[in-house]
Structure 1
Amino acid sequence: MNMIVLAIILAITVEGVVEIGKSIGKAVLGASYKTAATQVVALVFSCLLCLAAGADVYGTLGVHFAVPQLGMVLTGVLASRGSNYLSDFIKRLQSVSGTATVK
């Protein structure tokens, strides 16, 4: 994989993870503890589910990490935000990497 494409994919990933962290942090600081707890539970459950299923969006796009489970955990982090968020995220990654549609 081209290093420029890899760097862009990783930058998009960092942006997504930071946005999730900001969302949880904002809920905690705003004393919306139910919202924060719901988001954390969704995050943990989603990561565990992706690990159990071997779901790895990054591997599908040709990005392989030194720690094999990291792609599955990151997929779980992104999936915890919901299907629309993950779908938009995958489209952004695909447009950068030039891969075919994931089904």
Structure 2
Amino acid sequence: MHSIEAIIAAALLSEAVWETGKLVWQKGKLSIDRVGALLTGLLIAVGAGLDLFKLVDISFFHPLIGQVLTGILLSRGANFVHDLLKTAEIVVHRNQNQITE
């Protein structure tokens, strides 16, 4: 069973992956820049075995799933990933404080 923190983090990451995917198709056209960034993010994450989901104690039945989802997030760039992780950290700490009160 996962903790409430893991579920909240999963929700944040899920939305971020979906929103990133929507950027590939803009105004009825394929965005070559977004596709290039997406492929680069996937190559780096899968090639290096990076998995953001493991950081929040979410593991998949196949490790490649976490790596692919991480690659999608990486395609948005460093600022996006930093902001996403910061938001997840704030939400988790807020929930921990509410639970202990």
TM-score (normalised: structure 1): 0.75
Structure 2 partner of 1:10: 10
Q: Which of the pair has more CA radius of gyration?
A: 2
Instruction: Give the alignment's TM-score, normalised by structure 2.
Output: 0.76
Q: Cα RMSD over matched residues? A: 1.8
Shift of 1:96: 3.8
Deviations 1:26-85 (A, max 9, x none): x251x4x5xx11101211121121111111111122211112111111111111001100
Residue identity (%)? 33
How many residue pairs match? The answer is 92
Partner SS state of residue 41, structure 1 = helix
C-alpha distance in 2, partners of 1:59/1:97? 15
Instruction: From the superposition, tell whether residues 60 and 14 of structure 1 become closer, same or farther in structure 2 (CA, over 3 Å).
Output: closer
* Structure 2 partner of 1:72: 67
Q: Structure 1: 5+ residue runs without aligned partners?
A: 99-103
